[in-house]
Amino acid sequence: MGPSLFDDTMEISFWGTRGSISTPGRTTEKYGGNTPCVSVRSANTFIILDAGTGIRNFGHELVQKYRNNFNEASLNLFLSHTHWDHIQGLPFFDPLYIPGVHLSVYGSPGKRGLLEQILRGQMDMDYFPVQMSALSAELIIREMDKELIEIIPFRIDWQEQIYHPGGSVRFGINLGKKRLVYATDVELNKCFVENPTPEQKGHQRAYMKFIEGADMLIADGQYTAEEYVKTKNYGHTTIPLLADIAYRCRVKQLAVFHHNPPHTDNNIDELWQDYHARFMTADPPMNVFWAREGQAIPL
């Protein structure tokens, strides 16, 4: 799990970066085929963002690291929303089968008490052989109520995102003076329009304030502008719009995330070459890269 980090450093690890559905195979092995899961660590405290299929490998690593000492680890899962690609890995998260493990799960209160039912539902006998009630670990499912959630040493703030079918939540993870923003599954193209209504303007301001000056922004950049012609209303943002807004908000590092399933490693390499060169030579520079499975970044 890497060398010990300084107290005010968080380590961000990408376990799944693909959007919508997992895409195994030779053409996706560099950026990865697992669906969203990102862990943020400070010492033994983990903030886990989404539980797509990528959470499986994260679970293996946790089991290797903690084995019989899971009481040392604090595991906190924050769900952006409950679309399949963000919860499907949960039943394959090995620590759930270890007695004594506690996992706190946080999600939007917008589901009106349904969050637990949805998570339980995907482990219904018709879908999965082990029921949630049979898990050895203790799952504590909470719908977020407070604006700021404190999980020492992290402070987590969040906002609802309406530009996604069924809605989603974006999270700000703060440690010391560092701020990481995780804002996936949102169609900014439906908010940042040419002639915005007062409501859209309000949402624009809220978004920009949320990401302003972030040390890193992990964000939905699923489509190219060409692809968007056919994928409008699917709930995802185009890369040029995302990069433009992030730059205007002085984001330092932009990790493009929720990769479009048809995008091959070569496609993404080409996009990276284009955007990386363009924004690294800007003044001030912004480091744009495509998040990649198996990549851990100190912040």
Task: Judge residue 142's burial from the number of C-beta atoms within 10 Å of its C-beta, 0-12 exposed, 13-18 middle, 19 or more buried.
Answer: middle
Please give the backbone phi and psi of residue 154, each rounded to the nearest 5 degrees, phi first. Answer: -90, 150
Distance, in Å, from the CA atom of 91 to the CA atom of 88, rounded to the nearest integer, reads 7
DSSP 190: G
- Smaller CB separation from other proteins, 148 or 280: 280
Beta carbons within 10 angstroms of residue 21's beta carbon = 13
Contact of residue 85 among other proteins, Zn ion, none (CB under 5-8 Å per partner type): Zn ion
Please report which helix (H) or strand (E) contains residue 223, including its range.
Answer: none
Smallest CA-to-CA distance from 137 within 159, 163, 105, 113 is with: 105
Query: Taking CB under 5 A as the rule, does residue 236 contact Zn ion?
Result: no
DSSP helix/strand/coil, 50: coil
Whether 103 and 138 have beta carbons less than 8 Å apart is answered as yes
User: Among residue numbers 180 through 209, which ones bind Zn ion (CB under 5 A)?
Assistant: 185
Task: Judge residue 284's burial from the number of C-beta atoms within 10 Å of its C-beta, 0-12 exposed, 13-18 middle, 19 or more buried.
Answer: exposed
Site string for other proteins, 212-241 (x = CB under 8 A): ------------------------------
Query: Taking CB under 5 A as the rule, does residue 83 contact Zn ion?
Result: yes
User: Among residue numbers 25 through 44, which ones bind other proteins (CB under 8 A)?
Assistant: 29-30
In whole angstroms, how close is the CB of 30 to other proteins at the nearest point?
4
Site string for other proteins, 264-293 (x = CB under 8 A): -x------x---x---x------x-x--xx
Distance, in Å, from the CA atom of 11 to the CA atom of 4, rounded to the nearest integer, reads 10
In whole angstroms, how close is the CB of 221 to Zn ion at the nearest point?
12
- Smaller CB separation from Zn ion, 79 or 271: 79
User: Among residue numbers 1 through 20, which ones bind Zn ion (CB under 5 A)?
Assistant: 19
Residues that bind other proteins (CB under 8 A): 2-5, 11, 13, 29-30, 253, 265, 272, 276, 280, 287, 289, 292-298
Residues that bind Zn ion (CB under 5 A): 19, 83, 85, 185
